[in-house]
């Protein structure tokens, strides 16, 4: 049920952490994967190297998923390399960009956070849709922050991720009759460079200690969930947000 042989997948933000693990898991199950990355070509190349060393097939496309021309380039590269059908779209690209309280949250920063986390999902999904056949799957990324408002200074990020939840549900209703499932994943504290950069070590330690499983999650565990939602093993799951947080929050 986890075989993706003959399937084509796009993973945005596939160069590192959760995006990288999603790309590796999909490729290991047999999918041909287009790995999108933006900030680091080295990270994108590393994901491609790992896939190919394991016997998988993948291409890399650098691009900003908030820009229409880059999104079009991503879709064109995928269909040129792998054919006209795109069976799986995984929208991982996003980020907090920084922590700002409302008084310091200027319009430019707000717009940037909304673009990278919410607009990117809309743009990639819209561009890919003409190529997604019945039986296709779209996996978006929200966050526990969408449910609980996020941590200190994460107002814009939490709001954007709340938008991803709503977009996912609306798309599930719209695309379900076409045989296309749309779900999202809402991670809690996962051991990634995101938290290395934007979360204080003492905060991470406190969250891990308060988690019933007494630890942070790992990117590979989120990658396994991506594989499940992209595969026929989840064929009757649609419009769902799957929480992966070790028990810190119950939806």
pLDDT digits 0-9 by tens, 33-81: 999 999 889 999 999 999 999 999 999 999 999 999 999 999 999 999 9
Which domains, from first to last, does the chain contain? 8-187+217-242 (3.40.50.720)
**For residue 9, what are the β-bridge partners?**
33, 88
The percentage of residues in the chain with a pLDDT greater than 70, rounded to a whole number, is 97
Report whether pLDDT(202) > 90. Answer: no
Q: Which residues are catalytic?
A: 157
pLDDT bin (cut points 50, 70, 90) of residue 195 is low
Burial class (CB in 10 A: 0-12, 13-18, 19+), 97: middle
In this structure, is the dihedral angle defined by the CA atoms of residues 215, 248, 185 and 161, taken in order, positive or negative? negative
Tell me what pLDDT residue 96 has.
92
Give 55's DSSP letter: T
Report whether pLDDT(198) > 70. Answer: no
Report whether pLDDT(18) > 80. Answer: yes
Average pLDDT for residues 128-151, to the nearest whole number? 96
The whole-chain average pLDDT of the chain stands at 95
The predicted-structure confidence for 209-245, as pLDDT tens digits, reads as follows 888 899 988 999 999 999 999 999 999 999 999 999 9
The structure's pTM equals: 0.94
Cα distance between residue 84 and residue 75, in whole Å? 10
Report whether pLDDT(145) > 80. Answer: yes
Cα distance between residue 188 and residue 131, in whole Å? 32
Tell me what pLDDT residue 208 has.
85
Tell me what pLDDT residue 203 has.
85
Report whether pLDDT(121) > 80. Answer: yes
Report whether pLDDT(86) > 90. Answer: yes
């Amino acid at each position: 049920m986890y075989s993706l042989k003959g399937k084509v997948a796009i993973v945005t933000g596939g160069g590192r952490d959760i995006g990288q693990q999603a790309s590796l898991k999909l490729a290991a199950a047999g999918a041909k994967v287009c790995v999108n990355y933006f900030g680091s070509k080295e990270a994108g190349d590393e994901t491609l190297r790992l896939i190919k060393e394991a016997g998988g097939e993948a291409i890399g496309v650098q691009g900003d998923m908030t820009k229409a021309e880059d999104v079009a380039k991503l879709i064109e590269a995928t269909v040129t390399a792998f054919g006209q059908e795109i069976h799986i779209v995984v929208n991982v690209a996003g980020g907090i960009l920084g922590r700002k309280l409302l008084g310091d949250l200027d319009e430019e920063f707000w717009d940037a956070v909304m673009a990278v986390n919410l607009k990117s999902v809309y743009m990639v999904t819209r561009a890919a849709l003409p190529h997604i056949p019945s039986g296709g799957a779209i996996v978006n990324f929200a966050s526990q922050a969408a449910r609980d408002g996020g941590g200190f200074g994460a107002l814009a990020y939490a709001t954007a991720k709340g938008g991803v939840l709503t977009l996912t549900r609306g798309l599930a209703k719209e695309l379900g009759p076409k045989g296309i499932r749309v779900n999202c994943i809402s991670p809690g504290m996962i051991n990634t460079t995101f938290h290395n950069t934007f979360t204080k070590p003492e905060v991470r330690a406190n969250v891990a200690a308060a988690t019933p499983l007494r630890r942070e999650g790992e990117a590979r565990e989120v990658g396994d969930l991506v594989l499940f939602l992209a595969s026929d093993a989840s064929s009757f799951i649609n419009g769902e947000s799957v929480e992966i947080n070790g028990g810190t929050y119950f939806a």
